[in-house]
Amino acid sequence: MAQLAASIITHDDEFKRQVAQMLRACGVPVGIVEGARVATEGPGPDLVVVDIRGDVSTGMAAIERLRVTQPSVAIFAIAATAEPDLILQAMRAGANEFFPWVPGGASQASRAMEDSFQGAVRRAGARREAATAGARQPCVTHVFLGAKGGAGTTTVSVNCAVELARLTKRPTAIIDLKPCLGEVALFLGVRPRFTVLDAIENLHRLDRDFLRELMARHKSGLDILAASEQFDRPNAQDASAIEELLRVLSRLYDYIVIDAGNMINACAVSALYAADTIFLVTNPDVPSIRNAQRLVDRVRQLGAGSERVKILLNRVSDQHLIAPKQIETALGYGIHHAFPSDYRTVSTALNSGVPLALTNHSEISAQFGSFTRHLLGLQDDAKPEPEKRKAFLGIL
pTM of this structure? 0.77
Q: Residue 133: what pLDDT?
A: 63
Cα distance between residue 124 and residue 218, in whole Å: 37
Residues 6+ apart with CB under 8 A from 26: 118, 121, 122, 125
H/E stretch holding 6 reads strand 4-9
pLDDT tens-digit series, residues 138-185? 899 999 999 999 999 999 999 999 999 999 999 999 999 987 789 999
**Measured CA angle at 274 (ends 206, 219), to 5 deg:** 60
pLDDT tens-digit series, residues 120-147? 998 888 887 777 666 567 899 999 999 9
Cβ atoms 31, 3 nearer than 8 A: yes
Cα distance between residue 345 and residue 78, in whole Å: 57
Cα distance between residue 208 and residue 362, in whole Å: 38
Domains of the chain and any CATH numbers: 4-131 (3.40.50.2300), 140-395 (3.40.50.300)
Does the pLDDT of residue 37 top 60, yes or no?
no
Name the residue among 149, 160, 165 with its Cα closest to residue 356. 160
C-alpha dist (Å) from residue 172 to 223, 303, 382: 6, 27, 21
Does the pLDDT of residue 50 top 50, yes or no?
yes
Q: Residue 21: what pLDDT?
A: 87
Question: Side chain identity at 278, as an amino acid letter?
Answer: I
**Measured CA angle at 23 (ends 19, 258), to 5 deg:** 125
Residues 6+ apart with CB under 8 A from 141: 3, 29, 246, 250, 255, 256, 257, 258, 274, 275, 276, 277
Q: Residue 110: what pLDDT?
A: 86
pLDDT tens-digit series, residues 220-266? 999 999 999 999 999 999 998 999 899 899 989 999 999 999 999 99
**199: left (phi > 0), else alpha (psi -120 to 50), else beta?**
alpha
DSSP per-residue string spanning 322-375:
S-HHHHHHHHTS-EEEEEE--HHHHHHHHHHT--GGG--SSHHHHHHHHHHHHH
